[in-house]
Amino acid sequence: MKKFIWIIIGIWIFIPKINAETDLTPSSKSAILIEPVTKKVLYEKNADEKLPPASMTKIMSMLLIMEEIDKGNLSLEDTVRISKNASSMGGSQLFLQEGETYKVKELLKGIAVASGNDAVVAMAEKIGGSVEGFVDLMNNKAQELGLSNTHFINPHGLDAEGHYSSARDMATMASELLKHEKILEFTSIYEDYLQKNDGSSIWLVNTNKLVRFYDGVDGLKTGFTEKAGYCLTATAKKNNLRLISVVMNVSSSDERSNDTSNLLNYGFNTYEMYILYGKENPLGTKRVEFGKQDRASIYLKNDYQVLIKKNESAPSYSFEVNVNNLVAPIKKGDKVGQAKVIDNGKVIDEVDVTVNEDIEKSNFIDYFNKNLKIITGGRIRIS
């Protein structure tokens, strides 16, 4: 029995401990793992190296598409006519023909699931007026997001001189894309069909196999070219924690999946999201001018979450509310000010605050009753 115990102890001693210092991505030239809410980097390896992103480029293309939809400039039901240029695209494609028309939602599915180069070019022409115009929008957005190691030449990711990005920049793009939660309805599809104009259909299978084989993965985008190697920006959610991982320049699709799984396993096994202050808990009240009610309770617009290592205590932060003058009418959910998040007297964050009910504007009778209440002590009211 003693001999058996010493064998077990010996095995435990020599088992490598997986942590942020371990090379979690031995097959990847560059990699990163982040939590998108706090933007905390949990692991990185050559994360700022400029490398060809291959079809991960389409993350930026999808971001611009989703922004146009959210702005109301584009609808998922809008139709797009396929140009000669779009139909002639090589690489991964949906075999779209010149003159065919498809709805935006069909092309978006083709981009997200099957990485269709013809579909993304058609959408680029729809939004940017031309591929060149769309690429300008891509680079403008990259500059807006502070992506210092990214430059685009095309919307699809086929190798081109001067077309590059980095693992850190790809993670930032992915974080921005995930603010448009509708995109997950497309990137989480493992297989589906695209109905062609001639009545035939094309089988679409997600190039991101982890959507099917890793619990919690619901996106985002693979990539492969001879120059870029195998790449993958992935996202997964378990419980209250979402992670984004990026691996670049891997020699095979299996190794790409293995390195990504290592990153996600490390993140989910090590960290958890803790709701420090819930959006349903009031922060105090504020006087309302011209409202049917005199005061309104103030709430965070979103739960305030912190990322902590498992089995560690959550931090103790305080909130200092700075609310604008509340003037009715106010809609539930409207931003009415901000709250400073304070740790040991130091402001570490600022978050939006709101009200949790509609506040209507007073009419003449409301004003009259308020004054009458003051005069009569509330014994008389006019309705």
30-273 shares its CATH topology with 280-376? no
Q: For all residues of the chain together, what is the average pLDDT?
A: 91
**Average pLDDT estimate for 113-134:** 98
- Copy the structure tokens of residue 172: 């930032």
Mean pLDDT of 222-246: 97
How confident is the model over 180-202, as a mean pLDDT? 95
Single out the residue of 5, 27, 71, 205 nearest to residue 63, CA to CA.
71
Indicate whether 382 pLDDT > 70.
no
pLDDT at 324: 79
In the chain, where are the structural domains located? Answer: 30-273, 280-376
Place 375 in a pLDDT band, splitting at 50, 70 and 90. Answer: low
- Mean pLDDT calculated for residue range 272-293: 92
Q: Is the pLDDT of residue 72 over 90?
A: yes
Residue 376: pLDDT band with limits 50, 70, 90: low
Q: Of 144, 9, 8, give the one whose Cα is nearest residue 64.
A: 144
Q: Is the pLDDT of residue 90 over 70?
A: yes
Domain 280-376, second-level architecture? Sandwich (2.60)
Asked if residue 374 has pLDDT above 60, the reply is no
pLDDT at 369: 52
Quick one: pLDDT band at residue 270, thresholds 50, 70, 90? very high
Among 3.40.50.720, 3.40.50.2000, 3.40.710.10, 2.40.160.50, name the CATH number for the domain at 30-273.
3.40.710.10
Per-residue pLDDT tens digits for 134-159: 999 999 999 999 999 999 999 999 99
According to the model, what pLDDT value does residue 22 have? 82
Give the pLDDT of residue 2. 44
Reported as a pLDDT band with limits 50, 70 and 90, residue 29 is very high
Confidence grade of residue 237 (pLDDT, cut at 50, 70, 90): very high
pTM of model > 0.75? yes
Is the pLDDT at 1 greater than 70? The verdict is no
The answer to whether residue 16 scores a pLDDT higher than 50 is no
Q: Is the pLDDT of residue 104 over 60?
A: yes
- Tell me what pLDDT residue 292 has: 86
Over the stretch 324-369, which tens digit does the pLDDT of each residue have? 789 999 999 999 999 999 999 999 999 999 999 999 988 655 545 5
> 132 φ, ψ to 5°?
-65, -40
Query: Does 130 score more than 90 pLDDT?
Result: yes
Q: Catalytic residues, which ones?
A: 55, 58, 115
